[in-house]
Structure 1
Amino acid sequence: MTNIAFVKAKSGLGDDHGRRLMDLVEPSREEAGCIIYDLHRSETDPDLWCVYENWRSAEDLAEHFDLPHMQAFAAEVPRLVEGDLDLRRFRMISKPAS
């Protein structure tokens, strides 16, 4: 299960938002079902961030959103994020690279 999240920080809060997103990387990577959890910043818009995640299963991804580090981030979304979170879920159909 792949989840790609596009998150736009409110104007001027890109760095602050990025620090909060970075706080999610290590605890998320430590979750049993996490395969990949990477944070990206747009080269053309410093307020636009992307989180690229691969999870063993949809259940692992659902559990991820209920964990304390994700709940703490969700509480800060209204302060930091412009508009809605753009979450897109994908299922890989090609074989993984070796």
Structure 2
Amino acid sequence: MTKVTNIAFIRAKSCQSEELGRQLLALVAPSRQEAGCINYDLHRSDADPDIWCVYENWRSADDLATHFTLPHMQAFIAAVPNLVEGELDLRRFSMISLPAPQDT
């Protein structure tokens, strides 16, 4: 099974960055509790505070696909037109290297 990385780059509409950030942050805890989630992290650009990035790793493509069907994601997707400038820039990658050893 190939681990999948999804990186989302999201630009807030004018005057919507704080609300977008609030809603993105609200996705972190429920996403991290999903069975296939390895990590789910939210970042904000240092150079442009209207640009947000979600970096997430999943056990499989099926786990990522399921993630997008869950209520917390569906609610966010419904809010996107009011908060986001343009399209979501979603980039999917398959892990090629072996995972880093876990600290013990």
Q: So what's the TM-score if we normalise by structure 1?
A: 0.99
Give the 4+ runs in structure 1 shifted more than 2 A.
Answer: none
Q: How large is the Cα RMSD of the aligned pairs?
A: 0.4
Q: Which residue of 2 aligns with 1:39?
A: 42
Q: Which residue of 2 aligns with 1:15?
A: 18
Matched, 1:29 2:67: no
Separation in structure 2 between the aligned mates of residue 71 and residue 24 of structure 1, nearest angstrom = 11
Separation in structure 2 between the aligned mates of residue 53 and residue 14 of structure 1, nearest angstrom = 21
Task: Give 1:86's aligned amino acid.
Answer: D
SS in 2 for 1:49: strand
Instruction: String of CA shifts for 1:10-63, please: whole Å, max 9, x gaps.
Output: 012111100000000000000000001000000011110000000000000000
Runs of 5+ in structure 2 lacking a partner? none
SS in 1 for 2:68: helix
Separation in structure 1 between the aligned mates of residue 94 and residue 45 of structure 2, nearest angstrom = 24
Matched, 1:89 2:88: no
Deviation for aligned residue 1:91: 0.5
Separation in structure 2 between the aligned mates of residue 87 and residue 65 of structure 1, nearest angstrom = 12
| Alignment size in residue pairs | 98
Deviation for aligned residue 1:95: 1.0
Q: Which residue of 2 aligns with 1:60?
A: 63
Q: So what's the TM-score if we normalise by structure 2?
A: 0.93
Aligned-residue sequence identity (percent) comes to 71
Runs of 5+ in structure 1 lacking a partner? none
Separation in structure 2 between the aligned mates of residue 91 and residue 40 of structure 1, nearest angstrom = 21
